[in-house]
Structures are given as structure tokens and as C-alpha cells.
């Protein structure tokens, strides 16, 4: 609906503005004010009425049509006020052609229509939001599947043809076509688009898989357990639809002001007609006074008061990494009581990194890290990438490694400078029969309490020949535990500033994650988060938003996964990390296109500043009418002060200019987020001096 209105207002604005040029050029009032003249010719006196009629019919009639529902609901608003002004100006101007009066309102009529079309085009463009969230969810499902027949052959069939208990083949890199259970094979499956968690999940026979997730390097045979509307993905799609439908409608501030102004203008016109009829009897002067009141009440400035601020607001937001898709949500952001952040990929980097390390006596940390990076040089595992990135961050140059080999379920090994070196988890230490020194054991225990993964670096002093051991079997002779590395999903450096700044704005910060309570508590304690929702299933995330809303709080939600989509739409303000999945982006009101959580703070600050400008513009626009309507009615006529229609139109234009200038001042808003005074270069809060 909004997209259709946007295109309609845009098209009619450009056509009507083009047709208004002759009316402005041949307006005697404008010629007198600006000191110019245009050539006249036989019939040139008809230019103003003819072109004004065309502009009214093409650009003005849509406002009349949209005023009908307001009148039916007995709730006059902006459309009713606009319609009243343009109808009065149109009828009076046409009458002035037949019954000459002091002046006509042709140029005011066309400019009013043009400005209203421009304002509503800008408004519709800012309000419009795409409604393709469910379509984006549907795209996660493949169109076809490889079904295994009774004779062991495979056949390609549409996913819609799959039934419960069918056996399907999921090749490496392919999408799982339906919910089911692994019947044969093992692989790592990327479920981030469903769970929002970055770590691939290992799957083996008996494990459940979700339709729409992406298989890793292994091949799986999956026994279908649910299809169509019964799948997890379909359930999330229904949640998105329900949450979208449950979002309440907010009354627009400018429309309320227009409704009040409608009654004020009508009341003033009635009083004016009665007063002037009593004073001078009913004649053309009375009609001119009444028409002047009604036309002066037309919302030139009021019609632009909000859209201009919205347009500048949207531009400022874009330059600061925010894409605003719902204006009402942007306005609501100023009043947020709580903001819920999804943990993985939002408050954290979404990928594992080395957060701490410990070494045995006599071993330098840099040497140990370089040695581990050398062993992991040929591995694509996320732990290997984390170790290599940690070495790169320290500008370390790993030594050359040869004879790389993966030890399934335990780790990796390689030959470095004549020694066998291993990197792996606790299972590796068991196989190598390595003893863990007390201080490394304490390090591992503390890491475990913080929900961190620990991997170990083990070095052998004497290299054995490959022929002396079976393939895949680790040699235990002479092994020495060198170092331990704590791995965790790294907290973003910006997250510390975000939480502190939001607390400074009086906003409660909550965190929502599918991770364990220990992991969630560790991150929350580090960041100073107020409320933690841990071990939350995908289908329950929007319920946590509702839980805070039931406490009377206006809630914002920041997320990046498909499982966040229902929560994003359920929230009063849904904020998507731009690098997240398409459906999360489509479900949000505001998108952080630069993937920077600091923009959440900027969003709140910009919302507050924009709303102040909206209020100021409403005061300017309505304030003009407070003075202009009584003057147009002739309250100062006894002392010789009578506002002519031409002067009234000039004041009306001046009001519009003031509103436009005031809206431009929004660009001066300071959206910077201050650094924490105790923030170290690493981004972690440090004790103050």
C-alpha cells in the first residue's frame, strides 16, 4: 500500500509542479511582489484558471478521496484539512473569474497542492517498508531434493513431494530439504540461519537436522520427519506473520494537529461570517473574509513539518550507518525502556577467537602462539583460523610446518623444526598421556567456568618415522605440554561503549541467546548487562520480547539471524545487523548497515533529536495559524488592520520557510558515542587509576 501511494504521490507531484509554472508566471500578485512581467496575448487571462483546474483535478482530487474515510470515521485529520483548503480556494477562485473580486487564489491553490504532494511523497517513501520477510524465509528451502529409492538409487524430486519417512541424500554444501534425523553419515551443519549461532553443529546418525540449514563437507542421508507446514522453518514463518500483524498502529502527531486545526478553522470561519454579517450585512466582503480564514488555515507548513524532518532524519541515519525503514519505529526509539541484544554476531564477533593463554615455565607466549599457528597453517577449522588470526594480531611469523595430519576427534599435528607438534582438546591429552601442570589446570578450570573452550599445544622432543606408527595414531613418546589457549566468541570492542551509553540514556540493556546460562552470564557480567535470557529456543525468542512488553516497557530488539525475525517484528523497534540474514533485515524497522552496534545508541539519540524538531515545527506551523486566522477574520479591523488574502498567502509562505530552516538544523545533531574513560586499546574495561 505504501509503495503504491509513494509512486502515485511522486508522479503527481512532478506533473502538477510542471503544470503550476504557468500559473505562477501569470499571477498578478507574484508579478507585483517580485517585479517581473510576462508577455500577454489574446486568451492569456485563461491560463491561470485552466491550468489551476488541471492541477486540482490531477493533483488535488487524491486528497479529497483520502479525506472520505476520515469524514466517515468522524476523525478529521490532515487529508480533511487539505481538502477543505483546496476546495475553498478552488471554488472561490473560479467564482472570482465570473464575479470579479479583489483577488483569486489560483497560485496559492496550485502551490498548496504541489507542497502537499511533495510532503506526502517524502512521507510515503520513509514509511514504506518491504513486506518480503516471509518470502526471504521461504528462499532458504531448496526447490528439489535427492530422494533415495528402495533400490538405493537417487531421484530428483520437488521438495513438496517429500513425505514423512522418505530417505534423502544431502550432498556437501547442499541445503537440508526438510526436518529429519540423520540416518547415515557425519558432517558439520551450518545452522546459523536458524539458530543465529555461528559454530557449525556436528551431526551423526541419530541427530536431528532442520530444513533450510546448510550441510558442510560430509555427506548425509536424512530420514524425513516433517515437511511443509510442520517444519521448524514454517513455524518461524508463522511467527513472523503473527508478530507483524500484532504490531499496533500509532497515531501521527501532525495528523492530530491537523484535526485540531480543522475544527479551529471551521469555528473561526463561522464566527467570522456571523460577526461580519452583523457588522456590515451579508455581501462579498463577508465571503472574502470567510474564504481568507479557511485558505489561511491550509497546512502548507504543517504538511511539511513532519516529512521534512523525516527526510533529514533518514539522510542523517544513512550517513551514520542506519537505514530507517519504518518512521513510526524511529519516532518510538526515543522512548525505549529496554533494548534486547542477540548475543552472537551482535554483542560478539560471531566467530571464535583466542581470549587468553597460559604457558609452562620458560616458554614465551609469542613463541607458543607462533608454534600453534604453524601447526594449524593448513587447517580450515574455526579454531585454527582463530589461532592464526591471534598470531597475525601480534605480528608473529610462524615457522614452517610439514607433514600436516588431522587426528579425528582430537586435533591436528605437524612437524615443525624437527619436532612433532600437536594442537587439540582434552581428548588429545588423554591419547598422548600428557600430564597437565597445576597452573595450566587452574587456567583450564577458570576458562571452563567462563564457558570458554580450551585447546592445548603439545611438543615432542624426538620425531618418529611415519612407518613406525599407524596412520591417524598419535605418538606419545617424549610429549611435553607447552601451552593452553582459551577460545571464546569474542566480545566486540564496541559492545562495552554501547551498554555504558545506553545506561547513560536511561535504557535497560538485555541479552538474548540460545547459548548456555554459563556462557550468557559470563558475557553479561563482562559487559554489565541488566537482564539475561539464556538457552532460548528459536521459537521462543519473540516471547522474551513480549515478556518485557507485558511489564509495560517499550522494547527494542537487535539481532541478525532468521530466528531473530519474529522477535524483531514483535518488538516495538526492530533493529537488524546489516550483515545478518536477509529475512532479519526484511523483518526490521531499522538496519545497521555497517554492522556496528554503536549505531543503536546513535539511533536513540537521533530519534530524540528528530522528535524535538517535529514538535518545534508543529509549534511553528500551528503558531502561524494562531496569529493569522484571527487577523484574517478581521479582529483588528476596528483599528484599520485587515489582513488581505495576498498578505495572508505571504505569511503562509514565510511559515513554510521557517519550518524548512528549522528542519535543516537537525543536521547539527551530535551523534557521537563517547569512549569509556577506562577503556583499554583492546576494548576491555580496565580499573581506573
Catalytic residue numbers, as ranges: 342
Spatial distance between the Cα atoms of 527 and 493, rounded to a whole number of angstroms = 10
- Reference 457, options 445, 444, 469, 473; nearest CA is 444
Per DSSP bridges, beta strands 555-559 and 573-577 are parallel
Within 13 Å of residue 617, how many CA atoms lie on the same side as its CB?
31
**Residue 533: beta bridge partners?**
512
Name every residue whose Cβ is closer than 8 Å to that of residue 69 and which is 6 or more positions away in sequence: none
Lateral strand order in the sheet of 187-190? 201-203, 187-190, 214-215
DSSP letter at 485 equals: E
Q: What is the DSSP string of 224-291?
A: EEE-GGGSHHHHHHHHHHHHHHHPPP---HHHHHHHHHHHHHHHHHHHHHHHHHHHH-SSHHHHHHHH
Name every residue whose Cβ is closer than 8 Å to that of residue 4 and which is 6 or more positions away in sequence: none
**Residue 179: beta bridge partners?**
226
Spatial distance between the Cα atoms of 587 and 66, rounded to a whole number of angstroms = 28
- Reference 612, options 235, 202, 334; nearest CA is 334
**What are the distances in angstroms from CA 312 to CA 139, 307, 663, 665?**
35, 9, 7, 9
| 230 alpha carbon, distance to own chain's centre | 29
Q: What is the DSSP string of 180-199?
A: EEEEE--EEEE-HHHH---S
**Residue 407: beta bridge partners?**
411
Within 13 Å of residue 644, how many CA atoms lie on the same side as its CB?
8
Q: What is the DSSP string of 503-518?
A: HHTT-EEEEE-SS-HH
Per DSSP bridges, beta strands 187-190 and 338-342 are unpaired
Spatial distance between the Cα atoms of 307 and 123, rounded to a whole number of angstroms = 5
**What are the distances in angstroms from CA 329 to CA 120, 321, 335, 471, 570?**
18, 17, 10, 61, 12
Task: Give the total residue count for the chain.
Answer: 689
- Reference 491, options 527, 528, 531, 518; nearest CA is 527
- Reference 490, options 452, 437, 521, 438; nearest CA is 452
**Residue 278: beta bridge partners?**
none
Contact status, residue 125 vs residue 6, Cβ threshold 8 Å: yes
Contact status, residue 602 vs residue 501, Cβ threshold 8 Å: no
Q: Which residue has the cell 473580486?
A: 101
Amino acid at each position: 500500500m505504501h509503495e503504491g501511494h509513494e509512486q502515485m504521490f511522486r508522479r503527481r507531484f512532478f506533473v502538477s509542479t510542471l503544470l503550476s509554472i504557468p500559473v505562477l508566471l501569470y499571477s498578478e500578485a507574484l508579478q507585483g511582489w517580485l517585479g517581473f512581467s510576462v508577455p500577454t496575448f489574446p486568451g492569456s487571462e485563461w491560463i491561470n484558471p485552466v491550468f489551476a483546474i488541471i492541477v486540482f483535478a490531477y493533483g488535488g482530487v487524491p486528497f479529497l478521496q483520502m479525506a472520505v474515510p476520515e469524514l466517515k470515521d468522524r476523525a478529521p485529520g490532515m487529508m480533511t484539512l487539505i481538502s477543505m483548503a483546496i476546495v475553498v480556494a478552488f471554488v472561490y477562485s473560479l467564482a472570482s473569474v465570473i464575479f470579479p473580486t479583489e483577488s483569486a487564489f489560483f497560485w496559492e491553490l496550485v502551490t498548496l497542492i504541489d507542497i502537499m504532494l511533495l510532503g506526502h511523497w517524502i512521507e510515503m517513501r520513509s514509511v514504506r517498508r518491504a513486506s518480503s520477510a516471509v518470502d526471504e524465509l521461504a528462499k532458504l528451502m531448496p526447490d528439489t531434493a535427492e530422494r533415495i529409492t528402495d533400490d538405493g538409487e537417487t531421484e530428483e524430486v520437488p521438495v513438496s513431494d517429500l513425505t514423512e519417512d522418505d530417505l534423502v541424500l544431502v550432498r556437501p554444501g547442499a541445503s537440508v530439504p526438510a526436518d529429519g534425523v540423520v540416518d547415515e553419515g557425519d558432517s558439520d551443519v551450518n545452522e546459523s540461519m536458524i539458530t543465529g549461532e555461528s559454530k557449525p553443529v556436528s551431526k551423526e546418525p541419530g541427530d536431528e537436522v532442520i530444513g533450510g540449514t546448510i550441510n558442510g563437507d560430509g555427506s548425509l542421508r536424512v530420514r524425513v520427519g516433517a515437511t511443509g507446514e510442520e517444519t521448524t522453518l514454517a513455524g518461524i514463518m508463522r511467527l513472523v506473520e503473527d508478530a507483524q500483524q500484532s504490531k499496533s498502529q500509532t497515531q501521527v502527531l501532525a495528523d492530530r494537529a491537523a484535526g485540531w486545526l480543522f475544527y479551529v478553522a471551521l469555528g473561526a470561519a463561522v464566527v467570522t461570517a456571523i460577526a461580519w454579517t452583523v457588522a456590515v450585512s451579508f455581501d462579498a466582503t463577508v465571503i472574502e473574509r470567510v474564504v481568507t480564514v479557511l485558505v489561511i488555515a491550509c497546512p502548507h507548513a504543517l504538511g511539511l513539518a513532519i516529512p521534512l524532518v523525516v527526510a533529514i532524519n533518514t539522510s542523517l541515519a544513512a550517513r551514520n550507518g542506519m537505514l530507517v525503514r519504518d518512521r513510526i519505529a524511529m519516532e518510538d526509539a526515543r522512548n525505549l525502556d529496554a533494548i534486547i541484544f542477540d548475543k552472537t554476531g551482535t554483542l560478539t564477533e560471531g566467530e571464535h577467537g583466542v581470549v587468553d593463554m597460559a604457558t609452562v615455565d620458560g616458554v614465551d607466549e609469542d613463541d607458543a602462539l607462533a608454534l600453534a599457528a604453524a601447526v594449524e597453517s593448513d587447517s580450515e577449522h574455526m579454531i585454527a583460523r582463530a589461532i592464526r588470526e591471534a598470531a597475525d594480531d601480534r605480528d608473529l611469523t610462524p615457522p614452517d610446518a610439514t607433514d600436516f595430519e588431522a587426528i579425528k576427534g582430537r586435533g591436528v599435528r605437524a612437524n615443525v623444526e624437527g619436532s612433532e607438534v600437536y594442537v587439540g582438546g582434552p581428548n588429545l591429552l588423554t591419547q598422548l598421556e600428557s600430564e597437565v601442570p597445576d597452573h595450566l589446570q587452574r587456567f583450564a578450570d577458570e576458562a571452563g567456568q567462563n564457558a570458554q573452550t580450551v585447546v592445548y599445544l603439545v611438543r615432542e622432543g624426538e620425531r618418529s618415522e611415519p612407518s613406525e606408527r599407524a596412520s591417524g595414531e598419535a605418538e606419545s613418546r617424549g610429549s611435553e605440554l607447552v601451552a593452553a589457549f582459551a577460545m571464546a566468541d569474542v566480545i566486540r570492542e564496541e559492545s562495552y561503549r554501547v551498554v555504558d551509553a545506553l545506561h547513560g540514556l536511561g535504557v535497560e540493556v538485555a541479552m538474548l541467546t540460545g547459548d548456555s546460562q554459563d556462557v550468557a552470564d559470563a558475557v553479561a557480567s563482562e559487559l554489565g548487562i541488566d537482564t539475561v535470557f539464556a538457552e532460548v529456543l528459536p521459537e521462543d525468542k519473540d516471547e522474551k520480547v513480549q515478556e518485557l512488553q507485558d511489564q509495560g516497557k517499550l522494547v527494542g530488539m537487535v539481532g541478525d539471524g532468521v530466528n531473530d525475525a519474529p522477535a524483531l517484528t514483535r518488538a516495538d523497534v526492530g533493529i537488524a545487523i546489516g550483515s545478518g540474514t536477509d529475512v532479519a533485515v526484511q523483518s526490521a524497522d531499522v538496519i545497521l548497515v555497517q554492522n556496528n552496534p554503536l549505531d543503536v545508541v546513535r539511533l536513540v539519540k537521533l530519534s530524540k533529536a528528530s522528535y524535538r524538531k517535529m514538535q518545534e515545527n508543529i509549534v511553528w506551523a500551528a503558531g502561524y495559524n494562531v496569529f493569522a486566522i484571527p487577523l484574517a477574520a478581521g479582529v483588528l479591523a476596528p483599528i484599520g488592520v485587515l489582513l488581505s488574502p495576498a498578505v495572508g498567502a505571504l505569511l503562509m509562505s514565510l511559515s513554510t520557510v521557517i519550518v524548512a530552516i528549522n528542519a535543516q538544523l537537525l543536521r547539527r545533531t551530535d551523534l557521537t558515542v563517547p569512549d569509556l574513560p577506562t577503556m583499554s586499546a583492546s576494548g576491555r574495561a580496565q580499573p581506573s587509576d
